[in-house]
């Protein structure tokens, strides 16, 4: 068959080079499965190439590559088979690969966008770190706050201890005023004891100064007469002093009674009671229940703490009933008796 006849009959030409592939494969005792495994191509592609059909193949470019690889496997002239394939189907209709005219530059470190992104990332890391630190170690701030709270809660206890030497007076506007008690027994007593001694010393000094160093017998007799005349008046003046002695003893007894505090209380509900005397001695520090009573005495002034004012049915100090509602704040009574006016 001439070349002109082959050009007029492309199907026969395709079958011819396809038959050459089949004949060469069979001469090498290769199956389609083996060729498919060696070329890593589907078996359907091998069958299409052997019958000269391009249906089902990806494109002419791939078909040309399959024919070249198949011809090399069968030890045939791959260039001749590819040339016949191009004569039959023409050159690849695919466009030529265009060269890359421009390659985009990679982002550099000093690029403004890169710098901005880096700063945003760093700030985000710092913010997350600060937030995590506050979340994990926020207890330190709470700890300082709790210590301040403990100091504030300790202040009432200190005020209670100091109540032994100070009185708390409730004002009309609901505030409390701290009044220091006046100790009338020690300084005044010492001054009262020192005053007679100083008076006697001054009297003796005056007597010594008034007595003449040289007296005549007439002056001595005259002085003796004056002393005898003043004796009745001195005796009369001493009688009121003797009468004033019982009054002084009575006032001393009253002052001793004033220094002793007697407290009595009846309870209608459970209440915490704490009582301390002027020396800081705890007279009572415990709970009292419903129906119970309490009677204590100690050196005045006494500091009293009642945890529930409404739980006290009756409260007396030295026989005088005291209205606790006037001295309670939030149902808690803190008072020092007697109250300084």
DSSP string, 35-82: HHHHHT--HHHHHHHHHT--TTSS-HHHHHHHHHHHHHHTT--HHHHH
> What distance in Å separates the CA atoms of residue 267 and residue 302, rounded to the nearest whole number?
20
Helix (H, G, I), strand (E, B) or coil at 324: helix
Please state which of the ranges 121-135, 189-203, 226-240, 324-338 shows the lowest mean pLDDT.
189-203
Which distant-in-sequence residues (6+ apart) come within 8 Å of 51 by Cβ? 14, 15, 18
Is-cis flag, bond preceding 338, omega within 30? yes
Is-cis flag, bond preceding 125, omega within 30? no
The mean of the pLDDT values for the chain is 70
> What distance in Å separates the CA atoms of residue 209 and residue 201, rounded to the nearest whole number?
12
- In this predicted structure, the answer to whether residue 92 has a pLDDT above a threshold of 50 is no
Q: What is the pLDDT of residue 52?
A: 74
The whole-number average pLDDT for the span 108-133 is 88
Q: What is the pLDDT of residue 134?
A: 87
> What distance in Å separates the CA atoms of residue 175 and residue 51, rounded to the nearest whole number?
115
Please state, as a whole number, how many other Cβ atoms lie within 10 Å of the Cβ of residue 125. 10
- In this predicted structure, the answer to whether residue 10 has a pLDDT above a threshold of 80 is no
Please state which of the ranges 12-16, 76-80, 126-130, 276-280 shows the lowest mean pLDDT.
12-16
> What distance in Å separates the CA atoms of residue 261 and residue 278, rounded to the nearest whole number?
10
> What distance in Å separates the CA atoms of residue 106 and residue 100, rounded to the nearest whole number?
16
Q: Is the model's pTM score more than 0.85?
A: no
Q: What is the pLDDT of residue 143?
A: 44
CB 89 within 8 A of CB 56: no
Helix (H, G, I), strand (E, B) or coil at 336: strand
CB 275 within 8 A of CB 298: yes
> What distance in Å separates the CA atoms of residue 77 and residue 150, rounded to the nearest whole number?
101
CB 144 within 8 A of CB 305: no
Could you give the domains of the chain? 3-89 (1.10.260.40), 155-185+254-341 (no CATH)
> Phi and psi dihedrals of 179, rounded to 5?
-120, 125
């Amino acid at each position: 068959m001439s070349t002109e006849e082959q050009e007029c009959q492309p199907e026969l030409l395709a079958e011819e080079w396809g038959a050459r592939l089949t004949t060469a494969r069979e001469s090498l005792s290769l199956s389609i499965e083996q060729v498919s495994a060696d070329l890593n191509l589907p078996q359907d592609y091998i069958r299409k190439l052997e019958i000269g059909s391009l249906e089902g193949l990806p494109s002419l470019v791939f078909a040309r590559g399959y024919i070249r690889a198949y011809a090399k496997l069968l030890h045939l002239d791959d260039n001749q088979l590819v040339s016949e394939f191009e004569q039959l189907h023409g050159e690849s209709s695919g466009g030529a690969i265009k060269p890359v005219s421009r390659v985009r530059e990679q982002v550099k470190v000093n690029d403004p966008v890169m710098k901005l992104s880096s700063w945003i990332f760093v700030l985000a890391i710092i913010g997350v770190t600060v937030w995590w630190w506050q979340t994990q170690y926020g207890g330190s701030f709470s700890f300082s706050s709790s210590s301040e709270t403990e100091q504030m809660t300790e202040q009432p206890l200190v005020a209670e201890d100091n109540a032994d030497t100070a009185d708390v007076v409730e004002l009309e506007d609901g505030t409390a005023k701290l009044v220091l008690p006046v100790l009338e027994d020690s300084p005044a007593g010492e001054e009262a004891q020192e005053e007679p001694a100083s008076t006697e010393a001054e009297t003796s000094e005056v007597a010594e100064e008034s007595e003449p160093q040289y007296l005549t017998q007439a002056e001595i007799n005259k002085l003796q007469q004056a002393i005898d005349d003043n004796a009745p008046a001195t005796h009369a003046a001493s009688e009121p002093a003797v009468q004033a002695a019982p009054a002084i003893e009575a006032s001393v007894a009253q002052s001793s009674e004033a220094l002793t505090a007697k407290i009595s209380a009846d309870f209608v509900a459970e209440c915490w009671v704490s009582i301390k005397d002027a020396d800081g001695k705890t007279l009572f520090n415990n709970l009292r229940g419903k129906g119970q009573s309490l009677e204590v005495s100690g050196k005045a002034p006494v500091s009293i703490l009642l945890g529930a004012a409404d739980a006290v049915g009756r409260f007396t100090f030295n026989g005088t009933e005291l209205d606790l509602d006037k001295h309670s704040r939030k149902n808690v009574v803190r008072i020092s008796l007697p109250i300084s006016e």
